[in-house]
């Protein structure tokens, strides 16, 4: 029985049982089989969820880029590592071989060193989906610098907050980016952001759109001339297993975004293992994950997981509707993609278009389809299964989080029978629990509760950068000795899990996690706004859209509401980015509050969702009369 390429459901159960009975042995076998270690670990696992502290493969020494690149050179030097598909289909795709990747990563690593970056320094990467993005992450890892990729759709303010939170010394960006027919002035955004970031000494700029940009003397440097002078060999920095590999920010329900810290060995072992298992990866497959590397899905399943397996990973710069809604399928056909991994929001958008967009392309290369980021609704699941998979390619509905580092719940394709909207079974090594509101574990099947994980896994985030207390409070304080995911889930009669959605104030819009508090904070900065509250409501493409209730200040000034709505969305765009814009804004004289002054979001949510038949008990409210007003004026 192998931990990989499980042959049937019985074997899955056996492997899972083994991983629960003796987790150390299970992960040790995987770590031994597949990786290049400079020194073996002394201890597989140390853990204590009370502190919380988790360490995997303590004492081991390695460099993840040796595992993702160097190790493959002898047998796969000429194989394509990164297959870059540009925004414009007329621009030629780039096949970057493992050898070329090795050279480009080492050159950039040498440039970073020359610019004063050392082991442990933080480097912010703010780039579009071009090869330099993947290469920058690997170049940091090569020299032991900690990368912090910020999604290039975030605003200047969101960028500066993230740069400052982790004290980045350097930003790597480009002169601009392409998105369908549009170009975006990324360097301008960086310039704005850095007005607030005194710690940034250097900005390296990739030339992508050849636009005229300003270069700040002494700070900004074009990358290419530096690369041209750099050597193609760079000795890897030998890292400890638990040295940080990267920081990636994710929204919490309150406060600052959380800089989740992932460490080296555990993250590598887990992403490599799950990539191979969940996508049933075989040599010569062409794997395409449509996520942006600005999110965890891109880190784990465009860069580290695929490359650790010596796979070919497709990177797509563009958008699904340029030049038309057939673009994804054109790419699948052109590169003979075997595994295709995307988000429900994309599936819903694609399903709205004419079927001809799909049917004119040959999708016969596909073997496995994946979904991630939010619950997939039944209709989207069937559309994906019928039209893309032609009922032959299983759908792996993969549940996981930025914090988990890798996929936690998923069918194993061709082994686990799929069921629409169910992520099915936990992967080997993963021990799930459902908890009730009193903190008791709910046993048995056909139950629902709050999803927790009771045993560590190698790729769990170890802390929040600079705030271990918040890490403990957010994930380990709700239930004793459990990691709390923030999601609700149900377990059906055979033990399959279905994720029902967030149980906190995080709303997932088009697959992006948005905390309500930071959006409310930015709205409240508008001079005319006194207070606001945000809730989610169902949207047929985005999954959820945002509904804002806004109380205006009594200024006596009569402003046109539509203008105010635009201004409010403008402020949100400046503070966070266009992804957090509100679809509906209702002005109101008050918000329903408890006697302790907390906004009763439950009521606002029901009104936004048009479910006003059963508002529940409103008698305990401080101001029950406001509920009727809000209902009468609902949008």
Where on the chain is the footprint of ligand WTA (CB under 6 A)? Answer: 250, 295-297, 371-375, 397-402, 423, 485-487, 499, 502, 508, 513
**Cβ distance to ligand WTA smaller for residue 316 or 400:** 400
For ligand WTA, give the closer residue by CB, 186 or 380: 380
| Helix, strand and coil percent figures for the chain, each rounded to 5 | 35, 25, 40
Q: Is 592 helix (H, G, I), strand (E, B) or coil?
A: coil
Three-class DSSP category at 22? coil
Of 273 and 400, the one with the shorter C-beta distance to ligand WTA is 400
In the complex, the smallest distance separating the C-beta of residue 299 from ligand WTA, rounded to whole angstroms, is: 10
Nearest CB to ligand WTA, comparing residues 308 and 514: 514
Question: How many whole angstroms separate alpha carbon 598 and alpha carbon 183?
Answer: 43
Q: How far is the CB of 9 from ligand WTA (least distance, A)?
A: 20
Least separation in angstroms between residue 401's CB and ligand WTA is 4
How many angstroms from the chain centroid is the CA of residue 350?
21
Calculate ∠ Cα 603-588-558, nearest 5°.
170
Contacts of 417 (CB under 8 A, 6+ apart): 9, 411
The answer to whether the beta carbons of residues 372 and 343 sit under 8 Å apart is: yes
- Rounded to a whole number of angstroms, the minimum distance from the CB of residue 632 to ligand WTA is 33
Q: Which is nearer to ligand WTA, 166 or 402 (CB)?
A: 402
Q: How far is the CB of 374 from ligand WTA (least distance, A)?
A: 5
- Name which of 541 and 615 has its Cβ closer to ligand WTA: 541
For 635, the 3-state DSSP assignment is coil
Whether the link from the prior residue into 598 is cis, omega within 30° of 0, is: no
In angstroms, rounded to a whole number, what is the distance separating the alpha carbons of residues 340 and 353? 19
User: Is the Cβ of residue 245 or residue 296 nearer to ligand WTA in the bound state?
Assistant: 296
Written as six digits, the tokens of 439 are 């903190």
Residue 290 phi, psi (nearest 5): -85, 0
Complex with ligand WTA: residue 103 or 487, whichever CB lies closer:
487
Helix or strand or coil: residue 154? Answer: coil
Smallest separation (angstroms) from ligand WTA to the CB of 76: 28
User: Minimum distance between the CB of residue 161 and ligand WTA, rounded to whole angstroms?
Assistant: 18
Min CB(169)–ligand WTA separation in Å: 26
Give whichever of 125 and 550 is closer to ligand WTA, judged by the CB atom. Answer: 125
H-run or E-run covering 370? strand 368-372
Report the C-alpha gap between 108 and 208 in whole angstroms: 17
Give the shortest CB-553-to-ligand WTA separation in angstroms. 35
DSSP structure string for 479-528: STT-EEEEEEEEE-TTS-EEEEEESSSEEEETTEEEEHHHHHHHHHTSTT
Residue 521: other Cβ atoms inside 10 A: 15
What size, in residues, is the chain? 635
């Amino acid at each position: 029985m192998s931990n990989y390429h499980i042959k049937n459901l019985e074997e899955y159960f056996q492997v899972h049982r083994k991983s629960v009975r003796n987790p150390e042995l299970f992960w040790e076998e995987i770590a031994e089989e597949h990786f290049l270690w400079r020194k073996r670990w002394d201890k597989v696992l140390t853990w204590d969820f009370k502190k919380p502290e988790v360490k995997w493969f303590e004492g081991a020494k390695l460099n993840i880029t040796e595992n993702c690149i160097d190790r493959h050179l002898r047998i796969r030097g000429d194989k394509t590592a990164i297959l870059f598909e540009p925004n414009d289909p007329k621009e030629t795709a780039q096949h970057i071989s493992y050898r070329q990747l090795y050279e480009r990563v080492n050159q950039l690593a040498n440039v970073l060193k020359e610019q004063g970056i050392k082991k442990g320094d933080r480097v912010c990467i703010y780039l579009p989906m071009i090869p330099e993005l993947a290469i920058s992450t690997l170049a940091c890892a090569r020299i032991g610098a900690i990368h912090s990729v910020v999604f290039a759709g975030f605003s200047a303010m969101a960028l500066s907050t993230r740069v400052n939170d982790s004290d980045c010394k350097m930003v790597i960006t480009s002169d601009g980016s392409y998105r369908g027919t549009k170009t975006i002035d990324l360097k301008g955004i960086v310039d704005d952001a850095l007005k607030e970031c005194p710690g940034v000494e250097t900005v390296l700029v990739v030339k992508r759109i050849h636009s005229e940009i300003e270069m700040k003397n002494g700070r900004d440097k074009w990358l290419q001339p530096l690369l041209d002078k750099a050597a193609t060999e760079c000795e890897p920095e030998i890292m400890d297993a638990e040295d940080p590999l990267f920081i990636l920010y994710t929204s919490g329900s309150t406060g600052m975004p959380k800089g989740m810290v992932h460490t080296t060995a555990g993250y590598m072992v887990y992403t490599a293992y799950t990539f191979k298992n969940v996508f049933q990866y075989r040599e010569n497959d062409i794997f395409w994950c449509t996520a942006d590397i600005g999110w965890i899905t891109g880190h784990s399943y465009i860069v580290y997981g695929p490359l650790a397996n010596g796979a070919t990973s497709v990177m797509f710069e563009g958008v699904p509707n340029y030049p038309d809604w057939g673009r994804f399928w054109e790419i699948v056909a052109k590169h003979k993609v075997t595994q295709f991994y995307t988000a429900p929001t994309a599936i819903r958008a694609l399903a709205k278009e004419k079927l001809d967009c799909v049917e004119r392309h040959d999708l016969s290369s596909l073997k496995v389809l994946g979904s991630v980021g939010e619950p997939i609704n039944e209709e989207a699941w069937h559309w994906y299964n019928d039209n893309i998979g032609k009922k032959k390619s299983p759908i792996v509905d993969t549940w996981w989080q930025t914090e988990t580092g890798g996929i936690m719940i998923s069918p194993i394709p061709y082994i686990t029978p799929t069921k629409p909207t169910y992520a099915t079974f936990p992967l080997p090594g993963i021990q799930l629990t459902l908890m009730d509101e009193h903190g008791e574990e709910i046993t048995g099947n056909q139950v629902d509760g709050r999803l927790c994980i009771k045993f560590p896994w190698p790729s769990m985030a170890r802390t929040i950068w600079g705030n271990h207390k918040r890490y403990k409070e957010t994930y380990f304080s709700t239930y004793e000795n459990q990691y709390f995911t923030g999601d609700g889930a149900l377990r059906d009669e055979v033990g399959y899990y279905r994720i029902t959605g967030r149980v906190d104030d995080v709303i997932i819009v088009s697959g992006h996690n948005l905390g309500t508090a930071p959006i409310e904070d930015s709205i409240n900065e508008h001079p005319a706004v006194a207070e606001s509250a945000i809730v989610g409501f169902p949207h047929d493409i985005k999954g959820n859209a945002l509904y804002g209730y806004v109380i205006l200040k009594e200024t006596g000034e009569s402003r046109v509401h539509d203008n105010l709505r635009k201004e409010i969305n403008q402020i949100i765009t400046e503070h966070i980015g266009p992804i957090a814009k509100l679809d509906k804004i209702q002005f109101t004289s008050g918000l329903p509050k408890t006697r302790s002054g907390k906004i009763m979001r439950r009521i606002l949510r029901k009104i936004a969702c048009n479910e006003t038949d059963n508002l529940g008990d409103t008698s305990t409210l401080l101001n029950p009369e406001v509920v009727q007003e809000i209902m009468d004026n609902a949008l």
